[in-house]
Amino acid sequence: MAWSRMPHSNNLKQRDKQSLKGIFFNAVHAPIGAHASFTLGARGRSGGLGLELGEPSLENIIIGLESRDRRCVEALPFMEPEQDDALKFDHEGVTFKWTPIEFFKDRAIRRVYHPGSDQWTAGDLCFTIHSQIAPAPDPLQSTDQEQKLAYCPAVIATIRVDNRQSDQPRRAIFGFRNERDPDNMRAIAEEGLVGVAAGQSRGFFCRHPGAVPARGFTFDWILSQTQPENLRQELGRNGALLLHVPAGKVETFTVAVCFYRGGQVTTGLATSYWYARYFSGLEAVACYAIAHAGSIKARSGEVHKLITQAGLNPAQEFQMIHAVQTYYASTQLLDCHGQPLWVVNEGEYRMMNTLDLTIDQAFYELKLNPWTVGNVLDFFASRYQYSDRLDTPAKPAGAAGGIAFTHDMGCRNHFSRPGYSTYERGGLTACFSYMSYEQLVNWTLCAVLYLHESGDEKWMETKIPVMKMSLTSLMRRDHPKSNERNGVMGFNGARTLGGREITTYDSLDASLGQACGNLYLAVKTWAAYLALRDVFLSYGFKAEATKADRQAVLAAASVVSSLKPDGSLPAIIGEDIPARIIPAIEGLVFPYVLGQYDELDEKGRFRAFIGALKSHLSAILKPGICLYPDGGWKLSSSRDNSWLSKIYLCQFVAREILDIRSGTVGPASDDAHMAWLLNDKNLSMAWSDQMRSGIAVGSRCYPRGVTSILWLRESRK
Amino acid sequence: MAWSRMPHSNNLKQRDKQSLKGIFFNAVHAPIGAHASFTLGARGRSGGLGLELGEPSLENIIIGLESRDRRCVEALPFMEPEQDDALKFDHEGVTFKWTPIEFFKDRAIRRVYHPGSDQWTAGDLCFTIHSQIAPAPDPLQSTDQEQKLAYCPAVIATIRVDNRQSDQPRRAIFGFRNERDPDNMRAIAEEGLVGVAAGQSRGFFCRHPGAVPARGFTFDWILSQTQPENLRQELGRNGALLLHVPAGKVETFTVAVCFYRGGQVTTGLATSYWYARYFSGLEAVACYAIAHAGSIKARSGEVHKLITQAGLNPAQEFQMIHAVQTYYASTQLLDCHGQPLWVVNEGEYRMMNTLDLTIDQAFYELKLNPWTVGNVLDFFASRYQYSDRLDTPAKPAGAAGGIAFTHDMGCRNHFSRPGYSTYERGGLTACFSYMSYEQLVNWTLCAVLYLHESGDEKWMETKIPVMKMSLTSLMRRDHPKSNERNGVMGFNGARTLGGREITTYDSLDASLGQACGNLYLAVKTWAAYLALRDVFLSYGFKAEATKADRQAVLAAASVVSSLKPDGSLPAIIGEDIPARIIPAIEGLVFPYVLGQYDELDEKGRFRAFIGALKSHLSAILKPGICLYPDGGWKLSSSRDNSWLSKIYLCQFVAREILDIRSGTVGPASDDAHMAWLLNDKNLSMAWSDQMRSGIAVGSRCYPRGVTSILWLRESRK
């Protein structure tokens, strides 16, 4: 079942008014690795062609059709009234009467949103956007043809006009207003290719005898021109394809929505887009995309099947589609001196390959294209690995430390210098402080996940030294003295300059923000030690395996020892704070994915640990603690601040690993989370992560929602 | 005398309040041919580093110095309170107390605005911007060194801090916030070069041991960092140089304000920047500009002398400086398959080489760099010349026509297709209609001006065929039948598609907007015929010379015959409309500049014509007709719509050619026009052209004000 509905349907048991609202949300349609998106769906000037933005481009989009009586053009509601820039030239100008543009009635509009396609039907018009929700081929293991298709920086729009009920020819219109590019909007009509494009970077292209490119100050001006020659004048920011449909006919127009940036793209480290080796410019992209529109559309078939046949409930399915679609806008495949470099930008923040996102997105990427995970890990290891000492109570940098990894590799197309992230600073105890320990855990776990899913044993062989250094570093960061270790992070890195390390939950209070003693991190660390152990065993390093396993046992014991009489675990081990957190259970996902089922066995050697986490979740997943009134999950009891991607992950752990499937874990919470995404205030940013009482306050238009892919692993009991 | 004053000085006999306002206007500091500018001077977020914009970039600029007590940083008032983007990351964040940024008191600020330099003094801080107001060397006739210097896309800022009165080290700060570039603001510290830059396109660079680059969310955040390491974190849009001055010392920091765009710059016809052959990127520009800062500063010496020693009144001098400075932001030297291509963009409209601007700017360009005029004329002749038929009352396209030239060559870095402008459309009778006749006159006059000023006889030899076609076309556009010609345009080109041609005054009523029978165009045509005659005589084409001269005589007679009893001439010859226009006299400038003094002789063969124009001007230069209440000139009696560039030109004609030097022609009008430019509403757009009652309503940030250079030709009686 696809997520689809009429605005006035009862799919989700919503009343008419609410469901009317329900179809007008932005969806992101992105090529793979082009850091670009055609975003559409929220009312008004909310979408557009975004190139290297962390948000929609906020440009008017017109998708319309002349009414049967040709009195007006009826359009989908994706534009706002336009400022007539002609007035900047002509202050004495008379006001003309242009062709009116009216919106289709809401009740006449139907939307069907699938993985890889988004279809709008209204009257005699059917408009569909197709993107590739599909594997990104490994450039070192695939043909040029495969890469050219997968990395072509375009999505396909098809416009079908059914003019059989009319005895008049009619025109459809598909255009955009260039608000972003200082270069001119231009009209292209060359060798059968027609198009409109903002400079060299963004455009709509078509090959159809009925398509004519048009330029002007406003769309109504364009529609009102009686002299065809005047459509080629080139003032104004608007460009559109006019699509002529004869009387009594059905016509389908295939339009390539194209993006391009040539030359050097990044600073700090100079790279270009990988696609630039296949395409010389926007027109080359267009020619290829139109010619291969069928293949582009077909590429999403597999994921489409995967998601829609998984038996998910409608709210789950919607969220998974929405998250996956949004993810691709952040992807960027770069050419670094001839080598591919995979980057996932961090949604609205646009930090590059943020490692605490990499690990969560790995569940998705390892399913579709494991090489991207290895690629990112390699680049972290070679450029963004560092070593620092540890602060002790007695002395700053008073103890030996070890390796760690940076939070990210850069921001907004700028690679930060080797060994340093864009984000981290010294002297802080909260947001923007260092995440050395968390990122060390993340890199380590991610590396083992990659090994497990890809089977790339040669790769791991080259990484064994790093794995060993990781173990050493984790243990020292637990405690410099071996006999005082408890398996949990105890010491901050010296780079904090007297501050304190934080976790990925950077804007939270100590419950999830503080790294030292953190329960979430403790369980993740437990998983990291187990993962390390298995790698060391496989490669014949018994002593290291033993150490790692012992650390896992210590970590589990520390967690168990902090259990409270009410069955819950405090957020900080060893500190008696009242905060309780859902992500305590997050780390359990790793042994599951790595197939270490014994370690998760409720009757196995970690039975007390697993039991404690299970009793913890049951104790806190209650209104007033870690549930919002609407049934949505609240990650920390002490703050109104929740991340959907982490909720998805923890839902999976709760249901599949801890076998908790009560109402609060199932469809009721899914409905609540879907309602968050469809809150009026969140509609323009597509899938967003960080929510306060259901309102996206950060991490908007974010890639991390693909953690939902874990749901496909669930046995549906 | 330079234009300079204390805010509270009485230079212009203004009261304190007015003159306080007087120094805070935007001035444009632009490299030559880079279509870029560092704009500064109006209060608030009004200036910034504009690359390929027709307006200021509207970015916060900080120029400040720690107060002697180091309690705060005192800054020039070129920024607005900043949004702290850290809040997008950190919703739980505490509010920190940053170093306060306060503005210097108005009365403590002094500004001196010279051609090529703009100096601000406040307290112990002295900030100066230097740009090259100097000739653009002919790429085909100059050395690489000359070109590298002249076309280096940078201006120089010097920051002098006098810390002799303080026993504490102090920091100055110079930075900007990147609001325009999707790429990150970055900090550079390499081999002695330090800088901050928005992506690959815009930045501040310095080589000084006391300079440190800093990045952050806000300037007060940057100023408050106690950990030097944290200045290198790379989130946020702000970048600044922190300039350390020891106690008791004076330090001067030389900062290169650099611009760069590599690769293909234009579409329609692919070109790159000429400077790209000398500079590989922003840092290369910076290294060169810093090393050659002295030469860059020195380059304005000649024009500086020219303007400041000409005996102009202060209002004239201010306007000339302001116009010349603004002009350069519109200039763009492109590399078209290895050949230089000079483009002047049209201010806020950014149309490229608008021909009705080219002719007016020629007075300036021919003085400094005549080759640019020849270059533009060549490109018009080869790509933007066309031929059309003429509409007759009986039949559209009913008569043979001839050649004409397009209004422009493109817009916003897009070259329009050959033979077509960006601007012109058919079926219109006002703004956006064709200007075929006017542009034919303009090209022809411009070509003869170029010959006269450059002495490039070989060039003209190659253009003789065009000159002959021009004569034929002008005569046919007068009247298809030779015996019905009156020297004045009578027929519209067929490209108007039933509309009517217009003039450069496109947004005016018939008095100046309509081309047929237009008095302004008639006198300009008279000048064109005289110019053609002399060329034909020089090159031995007597028959053509005779025809041209006869047409001039006819045109003059037509003008004279329309003289009214009150001594004025109606705006449209042969139509009894009440409108009266100042630009009737505009065309007289050409025989003057071409040295055809006999034709201007009040006792010569055109005495009736010259007399009529003189009596006309005297009759209309009166309040209620063509004077605003403030003494400013109103180009047409029938509309509140006036263009300063044309006023400057007509002032010159009135004083120098018609010998009318009454109060309304002299300093009183100059003061009024200067007051227009300094009206609160006009301050941000620097020099603007089109005014309604002194408010710039169009043609803002415009290059055409360089017509004022004609004033330097005046004998000051």
Q: Is the pLDDT of residue B6 over 60?
A: no
The minimal CB distance from B508 to the residues A92, A431, A690 is found for A92
Residues of chain A with C-beta less than 8 angstroms from the C-beta of B52: 182-183
Give the closest-approach CA distance of B121 to chain A in angstroms. Answer: 34
Residues of chain A with C-beta less than 8 angstroms from the C-beta of B226: 427
Q: Is the pLDDT of residue A457 over 50?
A: yes
Residue A46, C-beta contacts closer than 8 angstroms, at least 6 positions apart? A26, A39, A56, A58, A78, A683, A684
Q: Which residues make beta-bridge pairs with A118?
A: A113, A129
pLDDT at A18: 38
Q: What are the backbone angles phi and psi of residue B203, rounded to the nearest 5°?
A: -170, 165
Q: What is the pLDDT of residues B133-151, one digit of tens each?
A: 999 999 999 999 999 999 9
Closest CA to B526 of B416, B606, B582, B602: B606
Q: Is there a contact between A478 and A451 (Cβ–Cβ < 8 Å)?
A: no
- A95 pLDDT tier (thresholds 50, 70, 90): low
- Cα angle A233, B411, B432; round to 5: 45
Give the closest-approach CA distance of A557 to chain B in angstroms. Answer: 32
Tell me which amino acid residue B37 is. Answer: S
Q: What is the pLDDT of residues B410-419, one digit of tens each?
A: 999 999 999 9
Q: What are the backbone angles phi and psi of residue B97, rounded to the nearest 5°?
A: -105, 105
Considering chain B, what percentage of its residues have pLDDT values greater than 70?
A: 96
Give the closest-approach CA distance of A349 to chain B in angstroms. Answer: 8
pLDDT, average across residues A232-238: 91
- Cα angle A59, A65, A66; round to 5: 125
pLDDT at B94: 52
Label residue B299 left, alpha or beta by phi (over 0 means left) and psi (-120 to 50 means alpha): alpha
Pick the residue of B94, B183, B330, B433 with the most A CBs within 10 A to test the interface with A by mutation.
B183
What residues of chain B, 394 to 413, have a C-beta less than 8 Å from chain A? 410-413
Q: Measured between alpha carbons, how far is residue B411 from residues A185, A282, B28, B685 in Å?
A: 9, 19, 21, 19
Q: What is the pLDDT of residues A512-556, one digit of tens each?
A: 889 999 999 999 999 999 999 999 999 999 999 999 999 999 999
- CB neighbour burial string for B324-349, b if at least 16 within 10 angstroms, e if fewer: bbbbbbbbbbbbbeeebbbbbbbbbb
Check if A52 contacts B (Cβ < 8 Å). yes
Burial class (CB in 10 A: 0-12, 13-18, 19+), A260: buried
Q: Is there a contact between B319 and B648 (Cβ–Cβ < 8 Å)?
A: yes
Q: Is there a contact between B183 and A267 (Cβ–Cβ < 8 Å)?
A: yes
Check if A309 contacts B (Cβ < 8 Å). no
Q: What is the pLDDT of residues A27-59, one digit of tens each?
A: 999 999 999 999 999 999 999 999 999 999 999
Give the residue with greater pLDDT, B549 vs B99: B549
Check if B698 contacts A (Cβ < 8 Å). yes
Strand ranges inside B199-282, DSSP E = 202-206, 211-216, 238-245, 250-259, 272-273
pLDDT at B7: 38
Q: What is the pLDDT of residues A469-488, one digit of tens each?
A: 999 999 999 999 999 999 99
Is B88 close to A411, i.e. CB distance below 8 A?
Answer: no
Pick the residue of B201, B414, B509 with the most A CBs within 10 A to test the interface with A by mutation.
B414
The minimal CB distance from B182 to the residues A53, A424, A426 is found for A53
Give the DSSP H or E segment for A332: strand A331-336
pLDDT at A14: 38
The token pair that represents B545 in the structure block: 């010379």
The minimal CB distance from B414 to the residues A53, A234, A268 is found for A234
Check if B200 contacts A (Cβ < 8 Å). yes
Residues of chain A with C-beta less than 8 angstroms from the C-beta of B34: none
Tell me which amino acid residue A190 is. Answer: E
Q: Is there a contact between B576 and B570 (Cβ–Cβ < 8 Å)?
A: yes
Check if B346 contacts A (Cβ < 8 Å). no
Q: What is the pLDDT of residues A99-148, one digit of tens each?
A: 899 999 999 999 999 999 999 999 999 999 999 999 999 999 999 999 99
pLDDT, average across residues B230-251: 95
pLDDT at B716: 60
Q: Is the pLDDT of residue B38 over 60?
A: yes
For tokens 């080629």, the residue is A232
Check if B453 contacts A (Cβ < 8 Å). no
| pTM (2 d.p.) | 0.94
- Cα angle A455, A459, A465; round to 5: 125
* Three-class DSSP category at B152: coil
DSSP secondary structure string, A354-404?
Answer: -HHHHHHHHHHHHHH-HHHHHHHHHHHHHHSEEEEEE--SSSTT-EEEEEE
Q: Is the pLDDT of residue B5 over 70?
A: no
Give the closest-approach CA distance of A118 to chain B in angstroms. Answer: 28
Q: Is there a contact between B50 and B329 (Cβ–Cβ < 8 Å)?
A: yes
- A1 pLDDT tier (thresholds 50, 70, 90): very low
Give the residue with greater pLDDT, B557 vs A16: B557
Closest CA to A444 of A465, A419, A458: A465
The minimal CB distance from B183 to the residues A351, A414, A430 is found for A414
pLDDT at A94: 52
What residues of chain A, 137 to 196, have a C-beta less than 8 Å from chain B? 182-184, 186
The token pair that represents B533 in the structure block: 């005659």
Q: Is the pLDDT of residue A17 over 80?
A: no
Q: What is the pLDDT of residues B664-707, one digit of tens each?
A: 898 999 999 999 999 999 999 999 999 999 999 999 999 999 99
Q: What is the pLDDT of residues A151-187, one digit of tens each?
A: 999 999 999 999 999 999 999 999 999 999 999 999 9
Q: Is the pLDDT of residue A92 over 80?
A: no
Check if B230 contacts A (Cβ < 8 Å). yes
> With a cut of 0.90, is the ipTM above it?
yes
